[in-house]
Amino acid sequence: MKNPFDNLDKVLEHRVRLQIMSILVTNDGYEFSSLKEMLNVTDGNLASHIKALEREKYISVSKSFVDRKPNTKYKITERGRNAFKKHLDALEAVVKQQK
């Protein structure tokens, strides 16, 4: 049998990235400020993880103005959804194997 560790997604091994993906997979679009509040991280920390996920094209960004204030919204992409599902399966397999 193949080693389930090989199926783990290197990008998603970081907990904050995994949490961002968990939020976006359940919600149809989430704002930067709401993400920050939910995860309890700093602006800079969140921005760097978001950038990493964007680079992989796991999430997409839409910028707009609400009441003249900039509003940044993130959505999960099809590619991101598949990657998240694969990573979750791999996590389960890893845990199962150890038991």
Partner 1 sequence: MKEIQEYEKDIASIRNMMERSAKFISLSGLSGVLAGLYALAGAAVAYFSLHYPVSPINYRTYSLQSTEAMLKLIMIATAVMVASIGTGLWLSNKKAQKHGLQLWTTASKNLVINMAIPLVSGGIFILIMLYTGHFGLAAPACLVFYGLALIQGSANTFDEIRYLGFSEIILGLISASVPGYGLIFWAIGFGVLHIIYGVIMYNKYDK
Contact footprint for partner 1 (CB under 8 A): 5, 13, 15, 18-19, 22-23, 25-27, 30-31, 34, 37-39, 88, 91-92, 94-95, 98
CA–CA gap between residue 96 and residue 63 (Å, rounded): 41
Q: Closest distance between partner 1 and the C-beta of residue 57, in Å?
A: 21
Q: Closest distance between partner 1 and the C-beta of residue 3, in Å?
A: 11
Is the CB of 48 or the CB of 97 nearer to partner 1?
Answer: 97
CA–CA gap between residue 47 and residue 32 (Å, rounded): 9
Give me the helix-helix angle, 78-98 and 15-26, nearest 10°.
Answer: 120
Q: Closest distance between partner 1 and the C-beta of residue 28, in Å?
A: 9
* Dihedral of the alpha carbons of 45, 20, 53, 16, in degrees to the nearest 10: 50
Contact of 56 with 18, CB cutoff 8 Å: no
Is the CB of 43 or the CB of 92 nearer to partner 1?
Answer: 92
Q: Closest distance between partner 1 and the C-beta of residue 45, in Å?
A: 16
